[in-house]
Amino acid sequence: QVQLVESGGGLVQAGGSLRLSCVASGLSFNNYAMGWFRQAPGKEREFVAAISRFGITYYADSVKGRFTISRDNAKKTLSLQMNNLGPEDTAVYYCAARFKNIVDPGSARGPYDHWGQGTQVTVSS
């Protein structure tokens, strides 16, 4: 059974930083591309960042230069370092796994095969 468990969310002031983690189990982590998505209240879920099996990264324009996605295959962990956070970053953040590799920005956005339960990030102004 595949499980993706996110952690690291919380409340932070504007301009602050958070680091999200996603620990995977039940899958061969290094054979999966991974992504982060977020959903704000009343909005659709949106792509944030993704990383291919080989470590190539993709970002939404809204987070480029502020967020960094990384993976540790030995620990089966996906991370998202978020700096210079603003109120517009407030959302539930979801980790996702995709067996088919990511090869371009389009495929970075999906579809994904497995999803975590999400972790709340709240940025106060």
| CA gap 10, 113 in Å, rounded | 26
Peptide bond preceding 111: is omega within 30 degrees of 0, i.e. cis? yes
Question: Average model confidence (pLDDT) for the chain?
Answer: 97
Residues present in the chain in total: 125
Cα separation, 22 vs 113, whole angstroms? 15
The DSSP bridge pattern shows strands 10-13 and 3-7 to be: unpaired
> In DSSP terms, which residues pair with 5 in a beta bridge?
23
- In this prediction, residue 87 has a pLDDT band, given cuts at 50, 70 and 90, of very high
How many Cβ atoms sit within 10 Å of the Cβ of residue 12?
Answer: 17
Residue with tokens 């002031």: 13
- The model's pLDDT over 4-28, given as tens digits with 9 standing for 90+, comes to 999 999 999 999 999 999 999 999 9
